[in-house]
Homo-oligomer: A and B are copies of this chain.
Amino acid sequence: MTAAGLIFSNIHDSSVPELTARRTMASIPYGGRYRLIDFALSNMVNSGITKVGLITHYNYQSLLDHIGNGKDWDLARRHGGLKILPPFITAYDNATANKVYSTRLEALMGVMDFINHCTEDVLVLSDCDVICNVDIAQAIERHEQNGADISVITATVDTAVQPLDAHAEVVKVDAAGRITDMATYDAEKGEVEVSADIFVVRRSYLQRVVADAIAHGQTSFYKDVLYRQLPKGRVFAHHYDGFFGRVNSLESYFRCSMRLLDRGSCVNLFYRHNQPIFTKVRNSVPTRYAPGAKVSNSLIADGCVIEGTVENSILFRGVKVGKGTRVSNSILMQDTLVSENVRLNCVITDKNVIIKDNRELCGHETMPFYIAKESQV
Contacts and interface: CB of A to CB of B under 8 A. Distances in A.
A48 interface: no
Nearest to A97: B58
A84 B84 contact: yes
A59 B100 contact: no
Contacts of A375: none
A57 to B, nearest CB: 7
A85 B61 contact: yes
Contacts of A68: 78, 81
A113 B64 CA distance: 14
Given A86-B86, A100-B89, A71 B60 contact: no
A85 B71 CA distance: 19
A349 interface: no
Contacts of A91: 10, 13-14, 57-59, 100, 102
Interface residues of A, number: 36
Contacts of A13: 91
Contacts of A61: 85-86, 88, 113
Interface in A253-305: 281, 283
B86 A76 contact: no
A262 B291 CA distance: 74
B84 A76 contact: no
Contacts of A92: 17
A358 interface: no
A10 B90 CA distance: 11
Interface in A324-373: none
A69 interface: yes
A116 interface: no
A86 B69 contact: no
A64 B86 contact: yes
Interface string A62-98: 0011001111000010100111111111111000001
A344 B13 CA distance: 53
Q: Which residue, of A71, A87, A89, A113, has the highest number of chain B Cβ atoms within 10 A?
A: A89
A71 B68 CA distance: 12
Contacts of A81: 68-69
A229 to B, nearest CB: 29
Contact of A60 (B70, B86, B283): B86
B84 A64 contact: yes
Interface string A98-137: 1010100000000001000000000000000000000000
B64 A71 contact: no
Contacts of A82: 69
Q: Which are the 9 A-B pairs with shortest beta-carbon distances?
A: A69-B69, A58-B89, A69-B76, A58-B91, A58-B90, A98-B98, A59-B90, A64-B84, A60-B86
27 contacts: A10-B91, A13-B91, A57-B89, A57-B91, A58-B89, A58-B90, A59-B90, A59-B91, A61-B88, A61-B113, A64-B86, A65-B83, A68-B78, A68-B81, A69-B69, A69-B82, A71-B76, A71-B78, A76-B76, A78-B283, A84-B84, A86-B86, A87-B89, A89-B100, A91-B102, A98-B98, A98-B100
